[in-house]
Amino acid sequence: MSSKQPNTLYGVAAEFESAEQLLDAAREARRAGYRRVRAYSPYYIEGLADVLEKRTNISAWIVPVALLVGAFSGYMLQYWTSTNVYEFNIGGRPVVSWPSFMIITFEAAILFTALALVGTMFAQNALPLPYHPIFNTPNFGEASRSRFFLCIESIDPEFDLQDTAEFLASLEPINVSEVES
């Protein structure tokens, strides 16, 4: 096997058998000073993402803002069209009767929030993304079913092909492989 140039190398990946091993490996990698570390698992593992890099829970901010924006838009749509575009005069009842506007206001709030939440998630995860170098990892097809992968990227300042591979091998993975970019 010819040695790969660093610029064609995406990183070094280790394959593990269980979630606990992956979690421990992620902790060890962080302790060893690596920063560009990514973990891949077939299901959600509590706390794994926070071990690698803590990210603020942006959803918690999106929800109240989107609820307010949605409610305001829903209400204003009804208010504005009832007063400026098409006035329904039914038995002299008030044109703007806010209690009967509440249901659509509520639905609009929920609709905006749901779209904002899902949109934010896709944007944050940068999905859809049909191609990603990690798919070059041998046996990566198992990452969606039964295997757990930890990848240290070559752009990490601490990255060194020899040392990093040895470090990953010391974590008792099933195997360690180089990932082409």
Partner 1 sequence: MRQSWRTAFSRFAEAMTLFALAVAGLFPLFHVGRVELIYYTIPYPNTMNLFSQWRSPLIWDAVAISTYGLVSLLFWYIDLIPDLASMRDKARTRVAKFMYAIPALGWRGDAHHWQGLHRTAFFLAAIATPLVISVHSVVGLDFAISQLPGWHHTIFPPFFVAGAIFSGLAMVMLFAALFRSAYKMQTIITDEHMNKAGILMLITGLLVTYGYLIEIFGAWFSGDTYEWAYSVERVLGPLGWSFWGMMIFNAVVVQLLWFRSVRTNPTAMVLISLAILVGMWLERFVIIPVSLSYPFLENMWDPFTFGIWDILTVISPFGLFLTAMFLFIRFVPVIPIAETQATMIEEAHHVK
Q: Under the rule (CB under 8 A), what is the footprint of partner 1?
A: 17-20, 26, 38-45, 48-50, 52-53, 55, 57, 59-60, 62-63, 77-78, 81-82, 85-86, 88, 90, 93, 97, 100-101, 103-104, 106-108, 110-111, 113-115, 117-118, 120-122, 124-125, 127-132, 134-135, 140-146
Instruction: Report how far residue 33's alpha carbon sits from residue 24's, in angstroms, rounded to the nearest whole number.
Output: 14
The distance of closest approach from Cβ of residue 37 to partner 1 in the complex, given in angstroms and rounded to an integer, is 9
Tokens at 80, concatenated: 């504005």
130/162 with CB nearer partner 1: 130
64/160 with CB nearer partner 1: 64
* Spacing of C-alpha 72 from chain mean position: 28
The distance of closest approach from Cβ of residue 48 to partner 1 in the complex, given in angstroms and rounded to an integer, is 4
Cα 26 to Cα 74, 75, 90, 159, 167: the distances in Å are 46, 48, 67, 15, 12
The distance of closest approach from Cβ of residue 34 to partner 1 in the complex, given in angstroms and rounded to an integer, is 14
Tokens at 168, concatenated: 């990953």
**Contact yes or no for 55/120 (Cβ under 8 A):** no
